[in-house]
């Protein structure tokens, strides 16, 4: 799909499908909202696969792909919707494996601990640590990044690297927007701290996803045959643009309020006005992920 100054508003994946061999699809906000699955999204990806395409789910979840797969089963996302899952948790785990001789301090809730599973990791306080892994807020319903300022100042004083296991700033949980590890990492970076971002919009997660797809296909897939789908301008769309692949923005996600879709259908002029204010733009925009209207 050629880059145009204004993204096309599409009714679903069908008008785009023949142009691509691989879809790199976001999970949270596209396939589910943290409470329930979006059935039409799973059906759309299933149809794409039935027509010979590959689908790799690319998520900023701070847990391994295997753990995300279990979560998707719990939401009843169709197994037929995807071939593989690559997460920022997978890349975080690789970063941890490279530092098994060092002490790590963890910031995040207990549900993110599977990222360390099976690894001989030594945990310690900020004063004892050689680096920090931040997977999220310990209480994402009440805390803000400001609640972590004293810890971040202590980390900065010691010059500790932060591995951010989820670069998202926020995510939609049901009808509520909650903060993610990216908000803490951004605060640390703005203070002068050193941050390694394990997921979108940074290239390593796209390189990993492309490699997984190539292994499944038995051949390399050209970038002009790859479509990224996601609901976040800052991560999904910016990441696709930086990696040199096309993207489809799902409006009814974290930008739903800005795009006005909670109040009704997409309005072309309003959408285009909003897109004109963004640093990057997708090739197409859909209300939700579906196969056709």
The pLDDT tens digits for 51-82 are: 999 999 999 999 999 999 999 999 999 999 99
pLDDT at 3: 42
Per DSSP, helices labelled H in 77-127 are 88-97
Q: Taking each helix axis from N to C terminus, what angle separates 203-217 and 88-97, rounded to the nearest 10 degrees? A: 100
> How many Å is the Cα radius of gyration of the chain?
19
- Contacts of residue 169, Cβ cutoff 8 Å, sequence gap at least 6: 179, 180, 182, 183, 186, 234
The residue among 89 and 2 whose pLDDT is bigger is 89
The whole-angstrom separation of Cα 12 and Cα 114 is 35
Instruction: Assess whether pLDDT exceeds 90 at residue 293.
Output: no
Query: Has this prediction a pTM greater than 0.75?
Result: yes
- Residue among 190, 195, 127, 135 at smallest CA distance from 161: 195
Instruction: Assess whether pLDDT exceeds 60 at residue 277.
Output: yes
Instruction: Assess whether pLDDT exceeds 80 at residue 172.
Output: no
Instruction: Assess whether pLDDT exceeds 80 at residue 86.
Output: yes
pLDDT at 258: 84
The residue among 16 and 6 whose pLDDT is bigger is 16
Give per-residue pLDDT as tens, 249-271.
999 888 878 887 766 677 677 88
Structure tokens at 52: 């010979």
Q: Which of 1-10, 60-69, 101-110, 158-167 has the lowest mean pLDDT?
A: 1-10
- Average pLDDT value for residue range 29-53: 95
- Average pLDDT value for residue range 83-96: 97
pLDDT at 197: 95
- Average pLDDT value for residue range 198-217: 95
- Residue among 242, 239, 243, 250 at smallest CA distance from 284: 250
The whole-angstrom separation of Cα 127 and Cα 124 is 8
* pLDDT confidence tier of residue 223, bands split at 50, 70 and 90: very high
pLDDT at 2: 41
């Amino acid at each position: 799909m050629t880059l145009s100054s204004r993204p096309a508003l599409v009714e679903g994946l069908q008008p785009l499908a023949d142009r691509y061999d691989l879809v790199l699809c976001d999970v949270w906000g596209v396939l589910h909202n943290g409470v329930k699955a979006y059935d039409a999204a799973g059906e759309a990806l299933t149809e794409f696969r039935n027509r010979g395409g590959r689908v790799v789910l690319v998520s900023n979840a701070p847990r391994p792909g295997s753990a995300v797969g279990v979560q998707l089963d719990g939401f009843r996302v169709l197994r037929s919707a995807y071939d593989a899952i690559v997460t920022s948790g997978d890349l975080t785990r690789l970063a941890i494996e490279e530092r098994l001789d060092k002490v790590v301090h963890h910031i995040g809730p207990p549900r993110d601990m599977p990222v360390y599973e099976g690894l001989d990791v030594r945990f310690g306080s900020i004063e004892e640590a050689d680096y920090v892994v931040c997977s999220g807020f310990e209480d994402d319903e009440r805390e803000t990044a400001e609640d972590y300022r004293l810890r971040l100042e202590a980390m900065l004083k010691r010059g500790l690297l932060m591995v951010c296991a989820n670069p998202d700033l926020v995510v939609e949980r049901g009808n509520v927007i909650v903060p993610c590890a990216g908000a803490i990492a951004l605060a640390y970076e703005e203070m002068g701290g050193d941050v390694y971002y394990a997921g979108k919009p940074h290239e390593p997660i796209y390189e990993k996803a492309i490699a997984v797809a190539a292994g499944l296909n038995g051949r390399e897939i050209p970038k002009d045959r790859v479509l990224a789908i996601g609901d976040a301008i800052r991560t999904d769309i910016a990441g696709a643009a930086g990696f040199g692949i096309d993207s489809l923005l799902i409006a009814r996600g974290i930008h739903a309020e800005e795009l006005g879709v909670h109040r009704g259908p997409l309005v072309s002029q309003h959408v285009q006005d909003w897109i004109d204010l963004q640093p990057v733009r997708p090739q197409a925009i859909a209300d939700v992920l579906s196969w056709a209207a």
